[in-house]
Amino acid sequence: MEALEEKLGYQFEQPALLENALTHSSYANESRDREMQSNERLEFLGDSVLGMVVADYLYRAHPDLPEGDLTRTRAALVCEGSLVEVAQQLGLGAYLKLGKGEDAGGGRTRPSILADAVEAVLAAVYLDGGIGSARKIIRRFILDREEEKGASRDYKTALQEMVQRESGQVLTYRLTGAEGPDHAKVFSMEVDLNGATVGQGKGHSKKEAEQNAARAAIEALNR
Domain boundaries, the chain: 2-151, 155-222
Same fold, 2-151 and 155-222: no
Inter-residue contact 28 to 96 (CB < 8 Å): no
- pLDDT at residue 152, as a whole number: 46
The CATH number of 2-151 is 1.10.1520.10
Residue 151 confidence (pLDDT) above 60: no
Q: Where is the binding site, in residues?
A: 43, 116, 119
Among the residue ranges 68-77, 132-141, 148-157, the one predicted with the least confidence is: 148-157
5 has pLDDT over 80: yes
pTM: 0.68
Instruction: Find the mean pLDDT for residues 28-36.
Output: 81
Q: Active-site residues: which are they? A: 47, 119
Report the binding-site residues for Mg(2+).
43, 116, 119
pLDDT confidence of residue 102: 93
Q: Which CATH number does 155-222 carry?
A: 3.30.160.20
Q: What is the reported pLDDT for 13?
A: 97
Helix ranges (DSSP H) in the chain:
2-8, 15-21, 25-30, 40-61, 67-78, 80-90, 100-104, 111-129, 131-138, 144-151, 155-163, 206-222
